[in-house]
Every structure is written in structure tokens, then in C-alpha cells.
Chain A
Amino acid sequence: MVDSKTSWLVGSDGLYRGNIRSSWDRMGSYSFQVTDIMRVHPGIIVATNIGLWMAPPDADLWVQLHDETLTEVQAIACVAGDPGIAACTPYGIALGSRDERGAVRWRSCSDKLGLNERFTNAIVVDPGKSGRWIVGTEAGVLVYEDEGKSWTHTNLNNCPVYAVCFARGLFWAGTDGRGVWSSNDGLQWKIAGRGMEEEVVFAVVDADDDILAGTTQGLFTGNGTESWKRVGPRIQITALAVHPRERNSWMAGSSPGGLWYSRDGGTSWMQAGITGNISAIAAPE
């Protein structure tokens, strides 16, 4: 039996688990487009185009976490509370709480925002302050503070932001047509590195020596201050992950193009057996 903890998890037309050297098995019979994945032991939180689910470790049926107001969940983050999830949707960020029957009811944090500001693509929780979220929207990066239920605009604006992450003490953002940007505080951003200023960036992850950026032209690697270098096939990379211990093992998901992996830090690449559009990858623990 495939162990979800030690397996790669790939979000495509369903949630797949497996390893590079073996085949993939789909968890349950769900064929929803999976957009984000979060391990919460013992299960897995699965964000999809039609709602939010909790996949128990070895059960066929998932548990529904969405309600009638939550659909098209694009990204999720772990926050305080029960179920402890911030769900990013085209209608804004929603927070859930359990009702008397144990079902989750959702309320929006984004009602006061404008149209494109509500459309949320990505989120990262500030590691220095759990109630502070750096949020990638269709209008740029906004910062949310749960304490005052307030939103702050940043200088990375008027441009869709598809990816955000925290690495090497900085926040990183992937934009639509303006490359990768970085910030110390999530509020003041500057363009990172050279040579990607017009790229569309869907995914940004840390690979120790480099930052990896998935774009419409494939993968770019760089440290965010010098020139970026393009490697691998010219696929539209919409998901990325790096193995936590084998740091040269990279998994890239493309839409279209399926799943690809590299075992040598991006020098060479092979297709990995899933051919559908890939929106999310979680590396083994």
C-alpha cells in the first residue's frame, strides 16, 4: 500500500500519490481538478474546483468541508481554529467554523475589497505572525491582518499574482507578466533578479541553492539577485515541489504537459506518468 506521508501527492483530475520510481494511484474515485494540497495528520486537505475536502488516509470517501457558499478553492493555508483553513477563492478568502451538526460554514474576509482584489490565487502565512497573511490576488499582493480584520495594499499592485511563498527570510511572489518579486515585510516589493521581468510566473518554491520559478516558458532558477537561468522543457509550469531531503529531486507540473521530474537539480527532465493538467504538488514528508 502506498503511504501518503512518504509519497509525492499530485493534484490533477483527482489526487494522485506515488513515487518517481513507481506508478501513481488516484486516491478515491474523485476526478475533481485539485488545486492545492495540505497534509494535516492523519488526513489530507484537498482544495478543488468544486470545493474543499478532507481525504482520510486510507478511506475511499472524502469528507466535505465546503458549504453552499464555497466553491472553486484555488489555494489553502493553515490558520487557527477548526477546521483551521483559510480558503482562497475567486470571491475572496473564506474562513470556516463548525456548526452544531459538525459541518463547516464559511464566511468571507474579503467583502470590502474590489473585484480583482477579491479574486485570490495564492496565500502564505507570515511565519513571524500567524494572523498575518500575504495574499496573491488578481490585483496584486495584499496583506491581511486577522487581529483587526484589515487589509493593506502593497506596492506590488495592478498585476495578477499567482504564487507567493516564504524562503530565505523573504517573501516571494510570482506575477502575470512581471516576473518574480521579493519583499522583507510583504508590503514593499521589488523585482527579484534579472532576465525574467516579463515572464508569467505560476509557481515559486525554494530549492536551497536557488529559488525555482515555474513560468509559461518552463522553469527558471536563480537566487533572486542575479540573473535567472531557464532550464528544462518549454512547458507551462503551474506547480512545483522539491523533495525535502533529496534536494536535487524536483517535480514540475504543467498545464498542459503533465508531470515531469528531475533528479539532477534541473539538468535533465523526464515525464512522470500523469498527463493531465497539474495544479498542485506536495513533496513527501
Chain B
Amino acid sequence: MQARTDELLTAIDERTGNSLWTAYTIMSLGGDKSSITAAAKKTLSKSTVGPFEVFPTMMLVSRWKEELPGEVLALAKQCMTRTVQDRGNTENHWLMYYSANLLAAEYWTDVDTWWNGLPREAMLAEAMRWILGMIERTAVYGHHEYDSPLYHIYHMLPMMVITDHTRDEHLRHQAEQTLNLFVAEMALEYFHGSWAGGHSREGYRQNTWNRTGVVQMLQYLYFGGESFNPDYHVQPVGTFALTSAYRPPAILASIAIDKESPCVVKKTRAPRNIYRHVAQEAERIRKYTYLSESFALGSTQLGLPGPPAGPIDTVSWDLTWQGPKHGAKIVCNHPYRDPRRFSAFLAGPPQVVGRGVASDKPYLQFPDRLFGASPYERIMQYEGAIIVLYRIPGDDEAPYVNLYLPKTINWTEKDGWLFADLESFYVALMPIGLYTWQAIRESNNAGIMVTEGDLIDGWLLRIEDIHAGLVLEAVEAKGNGTFQSFTENRINRKVDLNGWPDDQRVAVENHRGEWLEMHYNGPHMVNGEPINYSYPLFEAPGVEAELGTGKIVFRRGDDVLELDFGIDPEKPLLPMRSVG
């Protein structure tokens, strides 16, 4: 790991920009401090700052306070103790805000009254309560802003800075345990440089890529497992991780790169924060990810309470494998557009919220959208097979489903099935409903004309049916004959659509002859046995993690990692007040 650390530090130095996030590298490698002063002046002279300013400020001060130019330290103190701060509204925002204020309040003990007009000790106490409460809630019911390749690093970095620098021993211990937990989250679903399975949030319009997110740097740093590639692994925002004292236990790297194959990973995640327009609270989320040698198929039981609840960033399922950027993912999505899906988790008049969010992020309302939850989607997965069904109201703005297929594959069609030979594995998929074969190409730079599809570039099958669906099965080539025999076997296996849509039931025989039966709002059954979705916190080879206990044990051979967050079952958990 030290070799990878040195490799990354050197590479990041070559790409340093003028921000407080990369100022860390300059200090670490003894670079030109005048650029740090310039960055500090630019960033910290604003009249209002937010989590993305205060956190890198304290990240820098905590580690380098003795060596920083006096002007930078003075600007940092002014910012943290006298400048108006915006707490933000997502979990990563609040974690950055509270960790920064906690560390600042611990450090600048000569300040009696904080920027918010309260005594310094009051800020410290509030930050301590929220951070410890967030940790406990994560350990009990699962991470709220779960498994995000883009945002996970903004949970890990605050915990790292706290672990390295807080003066409170209990908080330090809990933060370090949380780091181990967060690394385990990554490790369990690590797949050849990417994070398999569903995500609360992936990148924006990046869920058709096989590798996404700044988390790739941490994956490479902690797990190794592949050759260094600066395009994936150099993420300057994560520089603190390179010089932090925190190093995860080796067992977690082993879990990541030395998995028994195939394996199933199950996770429970915290319920979504839906607070109006629906009759009941959302249920806990259950993730199921099947990691095979050549591919990973993951899906999510989102537990949504019905329309208009449809978390806007959620990626509920996909099939991924190693391949080119736009050429190694299959995903489908109902691009649900009801504007009340915004006001279901954002305050203010719904008539104002809907248009406001859509104005800030117009791609959230694109008709070709491939991410974001739909209240009409239901999924059943068993190992490498998945059934996805939709019952979309006839008056919905998007009475269809989008299915993304890579263009880099030569697809074959027979008897309603589409087949792909990926050499090491085979894929068969059957769209349910009439579809049209389109192309999709979206770009970051679309001001005048889209010339390259750097965001999305592939086939878009538009399934024009309010009762659309998809059956998909992926199998390893090894042990499953030739591609030809696979396709014949698949065609000859039963697919029972007689109960769809009227009886809300679809049944499929998988390649081994096992019978998967899915009722849209009813049981999901394998060979007649209903699937039990009452998952523990984690269920995976070598992992014991009963839900609600805050105790997790990882075992690999003689190696054991035990986490115990000391949860008091009588003490109520911190209420969730942030989104995401």
C-alpha cells in the first residue's frame, strides 16, 4: 500500500490545481506555499461558505497548522469562527460541515463565541451529537447515502480527519470503526475497479459507465488489484487519504480482491427520507449483488411507499463487467417525471419545487433518462438472473421504459431474445413489450451541438408499453458450453408471460432449470419458496452483521475484524434530517 501511496502522491502533484483540496498535496510534497495562500484568499474571503469550503479548510489546518503560512491560518480561523456557513442538505454536506466545525472548535479554544452566535462549546456539543448519532444510525440500520461511487469519499474523508485529529477519544474510536465499515462497504461489492450493485447516487448520467466516481482512488489505494491508471485512480480531492494515519486492516483488501466466485452480497440500507405525498414511510432498502468471475449483477428492493416517491439519483440495478467506458453496462429505467417526486423530499410548495429543481438539473427530466427511481418498478433477482417489471399508469408523462445496451457488442436476436457473447460470459435478455431500437448520445458540452457522447453513447431500446419489463440472465462461459449451446438452452427454457400483465405475474426458468416466479406486488419465489427480504445488515461469505446491533464481524481464514459500535438499544437514534 505504501508503494501505491507514493505512486498516487507523485501523480497528483503533477495535476495540482489551485484549491484547498489540492493544497494538501503541496504541503505534503513541500511545494510552493504561495499557491496555497492564493487558494485560501480566493476560497475563504466569501461572505458565505459551505461544506465544500469549510471541510478542506479544516483538513488542511488539522494536518499542517504548524507549517502553514500565517496568512492562511488567519484566513482559516476567520472563516471557521466568523463567516456565515451553510450546512447544506445532504448527509455528506452535514458530515463535512459538522466535522469541520468540531475540529475548529477543538482547535481554536481562544474563541468564545462562534460564527453562529453560540458559545464555542455549544457548537462542539452539537457537532459531536450529530456525528456520533450519524455513526450509530449507520451501524444500526445501514448507511443512508449508501454505496455512492461519487459521494462515498465525502463520508470517508471527514471520518479520516476526525480519526487523525480529534481530541475526543470516544469519537476517534467510533470514527475509525466507521472508516473500517465504509471500506468494507466498498470491498464487499468491489469488482475489478468498479463498485457493483445499486447505488443511492452514482455520478450524474454516468451509470452507463462501467467505472465511475472518485472512490476509484480509494479502491486502488486500499485494495490494489489492478495496474495503476492515472485516469481512474488520480483524484486530487482524496489526497488526505494518502497521508492520513488511517490504514484499513488487510482483511478488507482480501475481501475485495480475493472473493470466492461466485458470491452473493446482501445489504440492508436506511430507508429513503420521503416526508409527504404518500400514505406511509419508506421501508428499509435491501440490496442483492451477485459477483461472478466475469460479471456482476446487482439490484435493489427500494421499499418506496408508492407514487410520487421516486428518489431522483437512485440507480436500482445494473449488469456490469470489465470493458470500455460505454461498453460494459446494461441497465433499464422508467424515466419517471412527476414533479412531486422532488417535493416528496424537499420542502416548499410543490408547485415551486418541481420546476425549481428541474431548472437546476434539466437532465433529471430528460425523456431518455436512465437513472432515478420509479415508483412503478419492481425487481426480482436470483444469482445471475433478473426480472424487472413495470406497471405505469396510462396517463404518466413517460409511458415507456428505456433500456441501455452497449454499441460495442454484436447483438443477436432470436425468438424475442437478444444475446451477447462476451467471451468469458454470455448474456440473454428479453424485453417485455414492443420496443424500438434507437441510439443515445449525450455530452457534457451540449451548448450548441453534441459531437461526442462522452456522457452516454450506446443503444437505447425504448420499450413502448406501460407494462414493460425485462428478463435478463448472465452466465459464465466456463462450464456452460458454447455460446450457441447457451442460446439454444435459453430459448428452450420456459418464460411464462401468460400472467402478465393481467395477473401481475411473470415466471422464468433459468439456465439450470430453476423456476423464478415474480408477482409484481406479491411474493418473489425461487422453486416455489418465497424469498425472504429480511436481510441482516450484511450477508456475505465470512460476514456476521445482525441488523440493529451495531456489531459486525469479518472473517477470512485466521483474520478477524470485529466492529462494535456500543449501541444502546434503549437510546433513540438521531432522527434523519438530511437528504440523500
Q: Which residues in A have some Cβ–Cβ distance to B below 8 Å?
A: 28-33, 35, 49-51, 54, 61-64, 67-72, 74, 89-91, 99, 101-103, 114-116, 118-119, 138, 162, 176, 200, 202, 216, 236, 238, 255-256, 277, 279
Q: Which stretch in B1-9, B110-118, B155-163, B496-504 binds the other chain?
A: B110-118
Q: How far is the CA of A200 from the CA of B351 in the complex (A)?
A: 9
Q: A49-B348, A216-B351 are in contact. Are A29 and B84 (CB under 8 A)?
A: yes
User: Which of B117, B274, B276, B280 is the one whose CB lies under 8 Å from A63?
Assistant: B117
CB nearest neighbor in A for B305: A115
In chain B, positions 250-299 with a C-beta closer than 8 Å to chain A are 274-281
Whole-angstrom distance between the Cβ of A55 and the nearest chain B Cβ: 10
Given contacts A62-B84, A115-B280, 5 further A-B contacts (CB under 8 A): A33-B348, A49-B347, A50-B87, A64-B117, A67-B126
Contact: B133 with A162, CB < 8 Å?
A: no
Q: How far is the CA of A115 from the CA of B344 in the complex (A)?
A: 11
Contact: B130 with A68, CB < 8 Å?
A: yes
Does residue B125 face the partner (Cβ distance < 8 Å to A)? yes
Name 26 A/B residue pairs within 8 A (Cβ), A-sorted: A29-B48, A30-B48, A49-B348, A50-B86, A61-B116, A62-B116, A64-B116, A67-B126, A68-B577, A70-B577, A74-B347, A90-B275, A90-B347, A91-B275, A91-B575, A101-B118, A102-B122, A103-B126, A114-B280, A116-B279, A138-B276, A202-B349, A236-B352, A238-B352, A255-B352, A256-B352
Whole-angstrom distance between the Cβ of A237 and the nearest chain B Cβ: 11
CB nearest neighbor in B for A14: B48
Whole-angstrom distance between the Cβ of A30 and the nearest chain B Cβ: 6
CB nearest neighbor in A for B129: A68
User: Which of A29, A33, A115, A279 is the one whose CB lies under 8 Å from B278?
Assistant: A115
Contact: B125 with A103, CB < 8 Å?
A: yes
Q: Which residues in B have some Cβ–Cβ distance to A below 8 Å?
A: 47-48, 82, 84, 86-89, 98, 115-119, 121-122, 125-126, 129-130, 133, 274-281, 347-352, 356, 574-575, 577-578
User: Which of A28, A35, A69, A103 is the one whose CB lies under 8 Å from B575?
Assistant: A69
Chain A residues closer than 8 Å to B125, beta-carbon distance: 101, 103
Chain A residues closer than 8 Å to B578, beta-carbon distance: 71
Whole-angstrom distance between the Cβ of B283 and the nearest chain A Cβ: 13
Contact: A61 with B82, CB < 8 Å?
A: yes
Q: How far is the CA of A62 from the CA of B281 in the complex (A)?
A: 35
Chain A residues closer than 8 Å to B121, beta-carbon distance: 101
Contact: B577 with A255, CB < 8 Å?
A: no
Q: Which of B84, B276, B278, B578 has the largest number of chain A CB atoms within 10 A?
A: B276
Whole-angstrom distance between the Cβ of A53 and the nearest chain B Cβ: 8
Contact: B275 with A119, CB < 8 Å?
A: yes
Chain A residues closer than 8 Å to B274, beta-carbon distance: 115
Q: How far is the CA of A277 from the CA of B47 in the complex (A)?
A: 21
Contact: A102 with B276, CB < 8 Å?
A: no
Contact: A68 with B116, CB < 8 Å?
A: no
CB nearest neighbor in A for B115: A61
Contact: B275 with A115, CB < 8 Å?
A: yes
CB nearest neighbor in B for A238: B349
Q: A29-B48, A61-B84, A101-B119 are in contact. Are A115 and B276 (CB under 8 A)?
A: yes
Q: A29-B84, A61-B115 are in contact. Are A116 and B276 (CB under 8 A)?
A: yes
Q: How far is the CA of A194 from the CA of B47 in the complex (A)?
A: 49
Q: A101-B125, A119-B276, A255-B352 are in contact. Are A68 and B119 (CB under 8 A)?
A: no
CB nearest neighbor in A for B94: A68
Contact: A138 with B122, CB < 8 Å?
A: no
Q: How far is the CA of A54 from the CA of B118 in the complex (A)?
A: 11
Q: How far is the CA of A193 from the CA of B123 in the complex (A)?
A: 51
Q: How far is the CA of A49 from the CA of B86 in the complex (A)?
A: 10
Chain A residues closer than 8 Å to B351, beta-carbon distance: 200, 216, 236
Whole-angstrom distance between the Cβ of A145 and the nearest chain B Cβ: 24
Chain B residues closer than 8 Å to A256, beta-carbon distance: 352
Q: Which 9 A-B pairs have the closest CB atoms?
A: A63-B117, A29-B47, A64-B116, A103-B122, A68-B130, A101-B122, A72-B347, A119-B276, A138-B276
Q: How far is the CA of A90 from the CA of B353 in the complex (A)?
A: 14
Chain B residues closer than 8 Å to A216, beta-carbon distance: 351
Chain A residues closer than 8 Å to B280, beta-carbon distance: 114-115
Whole-angstrom distance between the Cβ of B174 and the nearest chain A Cβ: 16
Q: How far is the CA of A32 from the CA of B281 in the complex (A)?
A: 28
Contact: B84 with A118, CB < 8 Å?
A: no
CB nearest neighbor in B for A50: B87
Chain B residues closer than 8 Å to A176, beta-carbon distance: 350
Whole-angstrom distance between the Cβ of A253 and the nearest chain B Cβ: 11
Chain B residues closer than 8 Å to A115, beta-carbon distance: 274-276, 278-281
CB nearest neighbor in A for B121: A101
Chain A residues closer than 8 Å to B349, beta-carbon distance: 162, 202, 238, 255
Chain A residues closer than 8 Å to B347, beta-carbon distance: 35, 49, 72, 74, 89-90
CB nearest neighbor in B for A236: B351
Chain A residues closer than 8 Å to B348, beta-carbon distance: 33, 35, 49, 74, 279
Chain A residues closer than 8 Å to B356, beta-carbon distance: 277
Q: How far is the CA of A275 from the CA of B415 in the complex (A)?
A: 59
Contact: B119 with A102, CB < 8 Å?
A: yes
Whole-angstrom distance between the Cβ of A81 and the nearest chain B Cβ: 19
Q: How far is the CA of A91 from the CA of B275 in the complex (A)?
A: 7
Contact: B275 with A61, CB < 8 Å?
A: no
Q: How far is the CA of A68 from the CA of B125 in the complex (A)?
A: 10
Chain B residues closer than 8 Å to A71, beta-carbon distance: 87, 89, 577-578
Chain B residues closer than 8 Å to A49, beta-carbon distance: 89, 347-348
Q: How far is the CA of A51 from the CA of B275 in the complex (A)?
A: 17
Q: How far is the CA of A176 from the CA of B87 in the complex (A)?
A: 31
Contact: B89 with A50, CB < 8 Å?
A: yes
Q: A90-B347, A119-B276 are in contact. Are A69 and B577 (CB under 8 A)?
A: yes
Whole-angstrom distance between the Cβ of A44 and the nearest chain B Cβ: 14
Whole-angstrom distance between the Cβ of B488 and the nearest chain A Cβ: 52
Q: How far is the CA of A65 from the CA of B115 in the complex (A)?
A: 13
